[in-house]
Amino acid sequence: MKGKRKIGQGIYLVIDPSQDESVLMDKLTLILQEKIVAVQLWDNFPAQRDPLKLIQNITERCHEKCVPVLINNQWEWLRATALDGVHFDRIPHNFQYIKQTINREFVSGLTCNNDLSLVQWANENGFDYISFCSVFPSTTSNSCELVKFETIQKAKSLTSMPVFLAGGIKPENVPELAALPFDGIAVISGIMNSDKPDLAIQKYSKQLKANKT
């Protein structure tokens, strides 16, 4: 890997690896025809599936389009794969050990909630981005508390890191986020549950663009 891939502004896709692999890969092919800023593999691998093989297939497909791929929590897999980084659901208190063990540059992200000390910690430890979860009620983000919009406003005064919003985001409620300072949205079911995920991305992109006008 030539340097650390960056995560820009836009749509950050989260993939559930428990989905049928052929269906998942077919959808990913359509998705990568559109502009997305990253793919994250949720750490929800079924027992009968080889996670390293699936990671390899996904990273190869995404890297052809220069899209970075992150793993959720399971940072150890960065040592054996071409993964670009790891997204932590909570503060990894052994982060210095993790960096030494991986021994290469990698993208790091952290899920944040209404506790702004998480933002400060991520900022102080050189993370690449943060993601607030959940901004709306969500069945796929049911372990997240609802984040107050005021919290997101305050976060931007604490850090220059890119801020992503996650949880229950649909094209029709994206306009409700227009007044917030954020760099992108993280989506799982709104794209992956669609029969036409490429068209779903286009709908999200259209609404995000409208928010800026």
Per-residue pLDDT of the chain (213 residues; tens, 9 = 90+): 457 888 999 999 999 999 999 999 999 999 999 999 999 999 989 888 889 999 999 999 999 999 999 999 999 999 999 999 999 999 999 999 999 999 999 999 999 999 999 999 999 999 999 999 999 998 766 668 899 999 999 999 999 999 999 999 999 999 999 999 999 999 999 999 999 999 999 999 999 999 987
pTM of the shown model:
0.95
The pLDDT of residue 1 is 44
The pLDDT of residue 154 is 96
Note whether 45 and 24 are within 8 A (CB).
no
The two structure tokens encoding residue 15? 């993939």
Q: How many residues does the chain have?
A: 213
Note whether 45 and 17 are within 8 A (CB).
yes
Note whether 83 and 74 are within 8 A (CB).
no
Distance CA 32, CA 39 (A): 10
Report the candidate in 1, 143, 147, 153 with the shortest Cα–Cα distance to residue 73.
Answer: 143
Note whether 89 and 73 are within 8 A (CB).
yes
Report the candidate in 213, 202, 209 with the shortest Cα–Cα distance to residue 35.
Answer: 202
The two structure tokens encoding residue 64? 């052809």
Q: Give the bridge partners for 186, in sequence order.
A: 12, 166
The pLDDT of residue 144 is 81
Q: At what angle do helices 21-31 and 51-63 cross, to 10 degrees?
A: 20
Specify the CATH number of the domain 10-211. 3.20.20.70
Distance CA 136, CA 147 (A): 8
Residue 21 identity: E
